[in-house]
Amino acid sequence: MFLINCPFCGEREQSEFKAGGEAHIVRPKQPTELSDDEWAEYLFMRKNIKGVQFERWNHVHGCRKWFNVVRDTSNDQIKAVYKMGEKPPN
Amino acid sequence: MKKNLRVKRSKHIDETYKISFKFNGKLYYGFKGDTLASALLANDIHLVGRSFKYHRPRGIMTAGSEEPNAIVQLHNNSPWTEPNVRATEVEIYEGLEASSQNCWPSVNFDIGGINNFLSPLLPAGFYYKTFMWPASFWEKYEYFIRKSAGLGKSPTKPDPDIYEHRYIHCDVLVIGAGISGIISAKIAAKNGFKTLLIDEKPYLGGSTIYQNSEYFKINNQNSGSWLEKEINEIKKIENLEIKTRTSVAAYHGYNYLLAKENLTDHLPIERRKNKTRHKLLKIRAKKVVTATGSIERPLIFDNNDRPGILLSSAIKKYADLFGVACGEKNILFTNNDSAYETAISLIQKGINVEAIVDNREKVDSKLIYEVEKNNIKIFKGHTIVNTYGYKRINKISIMQLSKDGQNVIGSKIDLSCDCLGISGGWTPAVHLFTQSGGKLKFRDEDQVFIPNAYPSDQISVGACNGDLTLDSILVNVPKSLKDFLNIKNNVYESFEVLSSYNNSKRNIWLLPSDKILGKTKSFVDYQNDATAKDIKLALREGFKSIEHVKRYTTTGMGTDQGKLGNMHALGIISETSEAKMGELGTTTFRPPYTPLTFGTIVGRNVGEYFDVYRKTPIHEWHVKNNAKFENVGQWKRAWYYPRDNEDMFQAVQRESKAARESAGILDASTLGKIDIQGTDASEFLNRVYTNAWSKLQIGKCRYGVMLNEDGMVYDDGVTTRLSENHYLMTTTTGGAANVLGKLEDYLQTEWPELDVYLSSVTDHFATISVCGPNSKKIISEIFPNLDLSDKNFPHMSFKKTKIGKIHCRIMRISFTGEQSYEINVQANFGKSVWEKCMEVGKNYNITPYGTETMHLLRAEKGFIIVGQDTDATMTPIDLQMDWIVSKKKYDFIGKRSLYRSDTIREDRKQLVGLLTDNPNEILEEGSQIVSDINKSPIEMLGHVTSSYFSPNLKKSIALGVVRGGKNMLGQKLIIPMENKKINVTVTDPVFLDKENKRLNA
Ligand SMILES: [Zn+2]
């Protein structure tokens, strides 16, 4: 179990959090304008990287805020955390 | 004839404290300080079990947690029984009862022993090859295997012991209290770090503590005496916590470790009462020092598994620490200097050493000269080619090794013995390091894997880091700690060390024999009976990956995870396939390092503490009134209220009739309730529900369905507009937490511009639903000042009122199809308002009903239950609920998915009603629905989702999902059951009151 540095509460144990999948997938503003393929791209297609991945996490047993985490999936090292709406680090 | 093999006083053994215990039903004696293994050996008992596959007699092999053979069952047939316990780790206590477990009917006469003679028929992969086919025979095989090769028996009675979990946070965790661990802990603690030192054994000091030879000295003292003083000193350090009998089971990422602290297993059973048996320590350490030492390797030769064959280091430990001779005619067999340390210990204690067989030709070593001085015959450049003796070794044959070590030459020499110590060098115990994600590197000069790169803030020191000699430990450990902890205070000045150990080793993974390999039984994994031959067979059959060879031969898959033999397996694979050891990689060591009891894992979470459960404010009333409860998520919900001798069916029929004929009352407090406020609340609801919300008037209620983005129904419920910017949403009982989470997710991440605030108020309100044709009368008697006329308070509307000083919100909404009122009051008034309803309702035969009747009533009306009539593949269109989907709204969650090519298919599974031709036949929920049973394979069209006998319609009714069901009204389908087929007709899902007359009656 790793430790996650919630941008609102500080460092807490992983068991307080819920993972929310890949980050920076924006819900299309006008879904009705999209073809089936374009909508499917938004709906279903997710990366599954071995290495550095941008993820959404929710401090579900804490402040209940969503935020972003940059995690290396090969060793669970967390490179960065940042709030929703903030730019991802390079 | 009983022999006493206790040789000399040992500081560790209290010979004034005699302890009696039973092994396989016979009474024996040992002393305080003994393990079961040392006490048995003192009684000249080596044979303790049978091997797993061939049922060969097996003896005690080691003196530690790596033991593969001496696996026993404690206190058989009692609640305290425990299988698969290593006799080498059990501390004896008065009344201990242990028995061999892998033998039937007894360890001395074992029916499975016949497998030994059948062994040519039991090669690697035997279980896969033989028992897989035909599959129907598996039951028979399983009976045979379990009976004859049982790995112990599980307890059949509840566990009488108490277990606990504890969190520990420390600056530095030191795992292992051998010399390296003691030095590390002292350095860390003296530099102010909050330090925790743990060791699996009951004493501190590892193998150095019983080292009292003149050949190993620190600052001119025996290394053992020196360490003892260190231990006494560190015990006084305040910021150092020491835990013995505590084994680290798992080392996870971020320095999170699980350890089992054993508190009572060494006590007589009557003294364990009301004490915690095991504690699971959940340790979060800023820094970890792994000092887990090393494990001696066996040597792989023909018949290397007989009782009386032990690791050489184990023989030394039994002599030095327990004062026990493992035999009277001891022979040692080695490829390195360690066996000579053992020989010197034995000589000191007057234990006879017959001879030493050494793989090496010529070695310049002080230890060897000392042994030679004692006129002990040393066979240099020799190997054992065979051993003899069925239940105890009595003879070995040795031959000279060829120059390259691949063959034997010359003639055989036979030597008689009753105990053989083997030493194949040392394997650093890197298990925990690799569990933590660490990568190993292979050190060619002595053929060991050692830590390479650390994945977290940790360090390995001492033998587990490849420092296998006293001098290298004393030089390297303080140096490593200084860098690791970044400290100035070294604590130790330099040491004056005398170490007489010569590092030379002649490593031959599989020793040659005068027989062909196929005729030998050279065991690599003792516990799983995997031989060198099996490994070679696996390679011949095309297995290349070490992980595959492991599974095919079962090498390393026992409860000991191959702590002794894994290296040899790798070595043999490497030699046979000509791959480099370092490139082969190792198999993965998985937690736990040594097995954990289930009790330790669950701690206090047993019985009613297994999971949190939630009770409504009216719960006590339900209990008092004989309700049966069902679990809905974590909630305990009243299921039905049987009267007299009613069974569930009868009770539900009565409750259902009463609700439609006069009045029923339901505790609906478990429904999820979310308070929604903000200037954009209406817009928010527009986006999350499929229907339109902007025009809902204040004081009105509306039913809504929520989808996932994939268009599938996620939840449903009624939402009430309390004021301009204030709504109360209800959700399903099971969906409440997820719905709140989903709404928060959209608000925070997709629509942060919306001015909306969400609060869960599920627990804050009690909800009482009164329904039936007399519900209006009951409500009017409770609330005499409320105008209940259909004009003032129509269906799907809401009023605020009071009973006395209690504020009430009343919604006229219905999940049964009857006129009904839901009273919401502050939770702590829930029970008294309920009782008021019961009191007033008495004249109307008001009948409390539970979830089962609720389900029946709504099914009569064709209302769905999300999660029962739907799974994650049903759109509202599939549910024939097109009316709930707004055509006008530009967007809502899931809208775009409702016209994907897949969701507009006509032949999707759709919700329909099902009526059995025989009105008394009740379908089984989950039954498959087909149309043609003559076609093979029979095509499944769908399944029954809800099924009841309706007392109000006096016939069986069911809901189901059927492929293309929407267009099948009136069509006949078949429900095939085990002994019959049931004919049904597809109908509309609404069975009762299609015109909604009852809502306003
Ligand atoms: Zn937080």
Out of B253, B749, B895, closest to residue A31 by CB: B895
Question: Which pLDDT tens digit goes with each residue over B755-765?
Answer: 999 999 999 99
In this structure, are residues B808 and B832 in contact, taking their beta carbons and an 8 Å threshold?
no
Q: B633: CA distance to ligand 1 center in Å?
A: 26
Render B699-730 in DSSP notation, one character per residue: TBEEEEEEE-TTS-EEEEEEEEEEETTEEEEE
| SS3 per-residue string spanning B632-682 | ECCEEEEEECCCCCCCHHHHHHHHHHHHHHCCEEEECCCCEEEEEECCCHH
Say if residue B278's pLDDT is above 60. Answer: yes
Question: Which pLDDT tens digit goes with each residue over B807-835?
Answer: 999 999 999 999 999 999 999 999 999 99
CA angle B143, B149, B154 (to 5 degrees): 80
DSSP code at position B685: H
- Residue B140 has a pLDDT of 55
**Which residues in A have their CB inside 8 Å of a CB on B?**
1-3, 13, 18, 20, 26-27, 30-32, 34, 36, 39-40, 43, 56, 58, 60, 64-66, 75-76, 84-85
- The stretch B237-247 carries a mean pLDDT of 98
The answer as to whether A89 is a domain residue is no
What is the longest distance spanned by two Cα atoms in chain A?
43
Give the residues across from B296 on adjacent strands. Answer: B426
φ and ψ at A67, to 5 degrees? -155, 180
φ and ψ at B552, to 5 degrees? -70, -40
The span from the CA of A63 to the CA of B802, in Å, is 35
Show the domains of chain B with their CATH numbers. Answer: 1-157 (3.10.20.440), 162-294+428-499 (3.50.50.60), 297-425+507-584 (3.50.50.60), 665-857 (3.30.1360.120), 861-1000 (3.30.1360.120)
Dihedral sign, CA of B662, B666, B671, B677? positive
The span from the CA of B211 to the CA of B341, in Å, is 10
* Distances in whole angstroms, Cα of residue B983 to Cα of each of B523, B593, B921: 64, 58, 10
* One-letter amino acid of B99: S
Give the closest residue to B528 by CA, choosing from B565, B571, B572: B565
Q: A82: CA distance to ligand 1 center in Å?
A: 12
- Residue B118 has a pLDDT of 62
Helix (H, G, I), strand (E, B) or coil at A20: strand
Question: Which domain covers residue A68, as residue numbers?
Answer: 3-83
Give the closest residue to B991 by CA, choosing from B857, B813, B814: B857
In this structure, are residues B788 and B775 in contact, taking their beta carbons and an 8 Å threshold?
no
- Residue B334 has a pLDDT of 98
* pLDDT bucket at B589, cuts 50 / 70 / 90: confident
- Burial class (CB within 10 angstroms; exposed 0-12, middle 13-18, buried 19+) of B628: middle
The span from the CA of B707 to the CA of B104, in Å, is 60
Sequence-distant (≥ 6) Cβ neighbours of residue B301 within 8 angstroms? B383, B384, B385, B386, B387, B511, B513, B522
Say if residue B704's pLDDT is above 50. Answer: yes
Helix (H, G, I), strand (E, B) or coil at B87: coil
Q: How many CB atoms lie within 10 A of CB B583?
A: 8
The answer as to whether A58 is a domain residue is yes
* pLDDT bucket at B154, cuts 50 / 70 / 90: confident
The answer as to whether A90 is a domain residue is no
pLDDT in tens, chain A (90 residues): 899 999 999 999 999 999 999 999 999 999 999 999 999 999 999 999 999 999 999 999 999 999 999 999 998 999 999 999 999 998
Say if residue B145's pLDDT is above 60. Answer: no
Give the closest residue to A5 by CA, choosing from A59, A45, A84: A59
Please report the ipTM that was assigned to this predicted complex: 0.98
Q: How many CB atoms lie within 10 A of CB B981?
A: 11
Say if residue B135's pLDDT is above 80. Answer: no
Out of B252, B437, B900, closest to residue A39 by CB: B900
Q: A81: CA distance to ligand 1 center in Å?
A: 12
Containing B800, the helix (H) or strand (E) segment is: strand B797-803
- The stretch B120-132 carries a mean pLDDT of 57
CA angle B688, B692, B694 (to 5 degrees): 100
Out of B709, B895, B901, closest to residue A43 by CB: B709
To the nearest whole Å, the CA of B750 is away from the closest chain A CA by 7
Helices within B43-86 (DSSP H only): none
Order of strands, edge to edge, in the sheet holding B395-401? B382-388, B395-401, B408-416
Q: How many CB atoms lie within 10 A of CB B146?
A: 12
B303: left (phi > 0), else alpha (psi -120 to 50), else beta?
A: left
To the nearest whole Å, the CA of A87 is away from the closest chain B CA by 14
Say if residue B791's pLDDT is above 90. Answer: yes
Percent of chain B at pLDDT above 70? 95
* Distances in whole angstroms, Cα of residue B868 to Cα of each of B363, B365, B370, B542, B727: 78, 78, 81, 50, 27
- The stretch B699-722 carries a mean pLDDT of 98
Sequence-distant (≥ 6) Cβ neighbours of residue B107 within 8 angstroms? B24, B47, B48, B49, B50, B57, B100
Task: For chain A, say whether B900 makes contact (Cβ under 8 Å).
Answer: yes
The span from the CA of B377 to the CA of B329, in Å, is 13
The span from the CA of B464 to the CA of B94, in Å, is 36
Question: Which pLDDT tens digit goes with each residue over B14-34?
Answer: 989 999 999 999 999 999 999
Say if residue B105's pLDDT is above 70. Answer: no
Q: How many CB atoms lie within 10 A of CB B872?
A: 10
- Residue B883 has a pLDDT of 95
Contacts of A30 in chain B (CB under 8 A): 891
Alpha carbon B623 to its chain's center: 35
The pTM score is 0.89
* Nearest C-alpha in A relative to B435: A75
A to B CB pairs, distance under 8 Å? 51
Q: Do A66 and B744 touch (CB under 8 A)?
A: yes
The answer as to whether A88 is a domain residue is no
The span from the CA of B156 to the CA of B828, in Å, is 44
CATH number at residue A11: 3.30.2270.10
The span from the CA of B656 to the CA of B663, in Å, is 10
Say if residue B600's pLDDT is above 50. Answer: yes
Task: For chain A, say whether B253 makes contact (Cβ under 8 Å).
Answer: yes
Contacts of A85 in chain B (CB under 8 A): 752
* Nearest C-alpha in A relative to B257: A1
- Residue B120 has a pLDDT of 60
| SS3 per-residue string spanning B890-926 | CCCCCCHHHHCCCCCCCCCEEEEEEEECCCCCCCCCC
Contacts of A76 in chain B (CB under 8 A): 253-254
In this structure, are residues B280 and B165 in contact, taking their beta carbons and an 8 Å threshold?
yes
- Residue B126 has a pLDDT of 57
Contacts of A65 in chain B (CB under 8 A): 748
To the nearest whole Å, the CA of A81 is away from the closest chain B CA by 15
Q: Do A31 and B253 touch (CB under 8 A)?
A: no
Q: B676: CA distance to ligand 1 center in Å?
A: 22
- Burial class (CB within 10 angstroms; exposed 0-12, middle 13-18, buried 19+) of B460: buried
- Residue B571 has a pLDDT of 93
Alpha carbon B782 to its chain's center: 54
Sequence-distant (≥ 6) Cβ neighbours of residue B709 within 8 angstroms? A27, A43, B893, B894, B896, B897
Task: For chain A, say whether B709 makes contact (Cβ under 8 Å).
Answer: yes
Q: Do A3 and B254 touch (CB under 8 A)?
A: yes
* Domain count within chain A: 1
Dihedral sign, CA of B382, B386, B392, B394? negative
- The stretch B572-587 carries a mean pLDDT of 86
* One-letter amino acid of A55: E
DSSP code at position B608: G
Q: Do B896 and A85 touch (CB under 8 A)?
A: no
Q: How many CB atoms lie within 10 A of CB B106?
A: 13
Question: Which pLDDT tens digit goes with each residue over B961-999?
Answer: 999 999 999 999 999 999 999 999 999 999 999 999 999
- Residue B595 has a pLDDT of 87
DSSP code at position B594: S
- Residue B608 has a pLDDT of 86
Contacts of A3 in chain B (CB under 8 A): 254
Question: Which pLDDT tens digit goes with each residue over B364-380?
Answer: 899 999 999 999 999 99
To the nearest whole Å, the CA of B510 is away from the closest chain A CA by 36
- Average pLDDT across chain B, whole number: 93
Q: Do B895 and A32 touch (CB under 8 A)?
A: yes
To the nearest whole Å, the CA of A32 is away from the closest chain B CA by 6
- The stretch B488-513 carries a mean pLDDT of 90
The answer as to whether A47 is a domain residue is yes
- Residue B1 has a pLDDT of 43
Structure-derived torsion over alpha carbons of residues B310, B316, B318, B322, reported in degrees to the nearest 10? 180
Alpha carbon B995 to its chain's center: 55
To the nearest whole Å, the CA of B588 is away from the closest chain A CA by 15
- Residue B661 has a pLDDT of 97
Q: What tokens does B708 get?
A: 């996932």
Q: Do A2 and B895 touch (CB under 8 A)?
A: no
Mean pLDDT check: name the lowest of B404-413, B485-494, B756-765: B485-494
Question: Which pLDDT tens digit goes with each residue over B602-658?
Answer: 999 998 899 889 999 999 999 999 999 999 999 999 999 999 999 999 999 999 999
DSSP code at position B486: T
Q: How many CB atoms lie within 10 A of CB B749?
A: 20
